[in-house]
Amino acid sequence: MTRVAVVTGGSRGIGRAAAERLAADGTAVVIVYAGNTAEAEKTVAQIKASGGQAIAAQADVADEKAVAAAFDLAEETFGGVDVVVNSAGIMPLGTVADMDLDVFDQTMRTNARGTFVVSQQAARRLRSGGAIIMISSSVVGLRFPRYGAYAMTKGGVEALTLVLARELRGRDITVNTVAPGPTATALFLDGKDQDTIDTLAKQPPLERLGEPSDVAEVVSFLAGPARWVNGQTIRANGGII
């Protein structure tokens, strides 16, 4: 039986790398994307060109009806869902004193509520032997100024991982989080000058930014062979903390 993955935020960055890696592992993939249809279709085409199976589904991850429809599509097309990768997210920056609360609310809606909504469908639908994989961030531990709202959402994601792993007792479904360090994606690079990027790249002992493929490697491990890893947060960050 072919394993089936739903990957949110799958049209760009870490989500796209995870989708492509899972497809290369032989998993059929549903790319869930917010609005960039061209990039989602490009990802699907790339996976198919490499011999994999993929379809795209547009959904606001915080909209429970849209997310349910994406899971419906996965079940109708591929027969079920085994793996969920929660990688949809936004990262507006600002100090606690100055952040616009409308921006804060949107960050919470996408990163916190969105992860919860997707995880809710996963908890209801995943087959035995399944895996739920959250994407957090090493900024939760690094405590960078201006990342307060973002770190707050990701701290919540890590807490949800612990709870959900225990709620799924007896179902043979693992729940884990990957917390990348600075990774060379548009989400991370946008709005940063080269000096800032260079400084962050030198912080890990490996002295480079992570690549999306570095994170996808850990996602692949948790999605398949890592059946005895459960309720954990893995900080894939080159040793920065």
User: Which residues carry out catalysis?
Assistant: 150
Which tokens hold the place of 140? 């939760």
Which of these, 53, 100, 81, lies nearest to 173 by C-alpha position? 81
Estimate the crossing angle of helix 212-223 against helix 13-24, to 10 degrees: 50
Collapse the DSSP code of 223 into the 3-class scheme (helix H, G, I; strand E, B; otherwise coil) and give the result.
helix
Residue 109 DSSP one-character state: I
Rounded CA-CA distance 45/32 in Å is 14
Terminal-residue alpha carbon distance, the chain: 39
Which tokens hold the place of 41? 């279709």
Rounded CA-CA distance 130/224 in Å is 8
Rounded CA-CA distance 183/164 in Å is 27
Which of these, 3, 21, 16, 66, lies nearest to 42 by C-alpha position? 16
